[in-house]
Homo-oligomer: A and B are copies of this chain.
Amino acid sequence: MKSIVTIGGGTGQFTLLSGLKKYPVRLTSIVSMADDGGSTGMLRDELGVLPPGDVRQCLVALSEADSIMRDLFNYRYDHGGLKGHSFGNIFLSSLEKITGSFEEAVRVAGLVLAIRGEVMPVTTSKVTLVCGKEKVLQGQYAIEMGRIEPERASIRLEPESYANPKAVAAIESADLIVLGPGNLYCSIIPNLLVRGIPEAIGRSHAGVVYNCNLMTKVGHNDGFSVLDFAGEIERYIGKGRIDFVTYNNHLPEKELVERYALEGEFPVAVGDIEEEFAEVSFRPLPADLVSRAALVRKEGDPIKRSLIRHNPEVLAALIVQNCLGGL
């Protein structure tokens, strides 16, 4: 069975894994440990644990348990002392406190959720995402909410952290490494800032796919084209290391595009690739990647979700059919 390693965090990983898990492949999801917002941030502060939120989303995506268990792990409280917490985060953090090991917590949660595949933290040390030299933004949440354009190249983890050896081994033995989709500086690059991860990607014989974002993010990558996104990734993993880039070539619904435009966010421009096709070292994989499914807000979920998302089935099919050289 072919082995696919995905690298990322946040809802982008959830989407990707939800699609890929329908294929007969061995899935390993490597997850950023930089999150410090919302429920995850509260648990980090209060219990001194590693961030559970992104891992939870990957576990739920890979779960083959009853839908009640998946709903439970995503359940968010909107009242009282538990307000803002997600059940799955509490589950992971409590297991970490009991076992003394985040990895063991993830393993047990994986059993309870009957996951297909494996989820592993990119590092098991506690890190903070930091950006800026003059005006320093501390923490992933602050960076996600802030403007980082002038100093985005300074983004780093503090203290310096080292890769989870299991993640390194998975990357080295993979048939395919899939980066993103997800927030470029807050979900994807925090993995590539962990010492040992870019090196492992460099050593691995696996093909590398980068799933480019659908929309730009204000203050982070305004005006970025697909090539610009891919270029940022290659700044961390090495020029020419990307073999495939998937990107969207159909505009989302006008109403949604207008809503994003009010926030200063726009569909990622694709012109450059098609004009400069001969110049790029990767194979471009354009497709109509936008999900048309209306997102239903789950009861108890107070978080406002963006609505322009990848279609998990189309994305997974594009990757499996083009990047894996057969199943």
Contacts and interface: CB of A to CB of B under 8 A. Distances in A.
B72 A82 contact: no
B82 A98 contact: no
Contacts of A94: 72, 75, 77, 87
Given A71-B98, A98-B72, A108-B69, A81 B300 contact: no
B300 A79 contact: no
A317 interface: no
Contacts of A68: 95, 98-99, 104, 108
> Could you say which interface size class chain A belongs to?
20 to 34
Contact of A72 (B72, B80, B83, B95): B95
A104 B75 CA distance: 16
Contacts of A82: 46-47, 81-82, 85, 90
Contacts of A79: 46-47
Interface in A284-311: 300
A75 to B, nearest CB: 5
A256 interface: no
Interface of A: 42, 45-47, 66, 68-69, 71-72, 75, 77, 79-83, 85, 87, 90-91, 94-95, 97-99, 104, 108, 112, 300
B75 A98 contact: yes
Nearest to A69: B108
Contacts of A91: 72, 87, 91
A137 to B, nearest CB: 24
B47 A77 contact: yes
A94 to B, nearest CB: 5
A47 B47 CA distance: 23
B112 A80 contact: no
A79 B69 CA distance: 26
Given A46-B81, A87-B90, 12 more contacts: A45-B80, A46-B79, A46-B80, A46-B82, A47-B79, A47-B82, A69-B112, A72-B91, A72-B94, A77-B94, A81-B82, A82-B90
A215 B300 CA distance: 45
A217 to B, nearest CB: 30
Closest 3 CB pairs of A and B: A46-B80, A81-B81, A87-B94
A69 B99 CA distance: 10
Contacts of A81: 42, 46, 81-83, 85
A85 to B, nearest CB: 7
Contacts of A85: 81-82
Contacts of A108: 66, 68-69, 72
